[in-house]
Amino acid sequence: MRLFDTHCHLTWHMDEDPPAERLARARAAGVERLLTVAVDLDSARTCAELAQEFDGVAASAGIHPNDVPAGPERDAVLSELETLLADGNYVAVGETGLDFYRDWSQPADQEASLEQHLDLAQRFELPVILHCRASAARLLEVLQAQQREIAGVMHCFSEDATAARSFLDLGLHVSFAGNLTYPKSEALREAARIVPDDRLLVETDAPFLAPQPKRGKRNEPAYVAHTLAFAAELRGQDAESLAEQTYGNASSLFTSR
């Protein structure tokens, strides 16, 4: 069985848990490829360095909605992001999106950043990684206003089946993380049941949201195997077949350029 963790943050905890050690554990669990995702300019640079250093690691570049600065500083940061993307070291733009759960960045700044990320993704012909927390209705409005299909993924999906269908209608993939396995996630499980095989992805969002068998521990790419197994049982599918399907989906979406 081969697995693709489509969203993790290897740049976290690098000193106390070196990426090489996490990657070795991931390989032992069947993870052949993973995407380490940026949240700001510094992590984008480090993600690219990790992708160059380790086989099977790809990188994204983007500004997390909680890290979007205001006004002129935002424009300067996004200009630098464009410069990084032009280097050709990334397979995706993001993570970007909307997060209204916290008030670390103003909604207007988040939306402006999201629209600029969408423009960059289209310009560089890269998929976009979308973060959505307490913001599904507004995020859907912003994306629908693009009036086009959007190549990308709703990462760490946490909404219901109705929302999943709406995002699928835009052409997006839907990715599930460890929260799918939590006992109170029935609405999320219903969403996971209805995503078509060719749009389904799995991820860890490590170091966050460890799946139920590892809950309380720091999450890591190796644990994507638990989420894959849970999703397969939930959907009534063979785990190895679903692993191969999601691996192929991710490999096609995040094609190295």
**pLDDT averaged per 10 residues, the chain (length 257):** 98 95 99 99 98 98 97 95 97 98 93 98 98 98 96 99 98 99 98 99 99 98 99 98 99 82
What 3-state class would DSSP assign to 131? strand
> What's the total number of domains in the chain?
1
pLDDT, residue 154, reads 99
Could you tell me the CATH number of the domain that includes residue 159? 3.20.20.140
pLDDT, residue 257, reads 42
CB atoms near residue 41 (< 10 Å): 18
The structure's pTM equals 0.97
pLDDT, residue 55, reads 98
* Secondary structure E strands in 167-253: 173-176, 200-202
Q: Return d(Cα 85, Cα 114) in angstroms, integer.
A: 15
For residues 174 and 200, is the Cβ–Cβ distance under 8 A? yes
Closest CA to 226 of 238, 239, 217, 216: 239
- Enclosing domain of residue 236: 3-253
Contacts of 240 (CB under 8 A, 6+ apart): 1
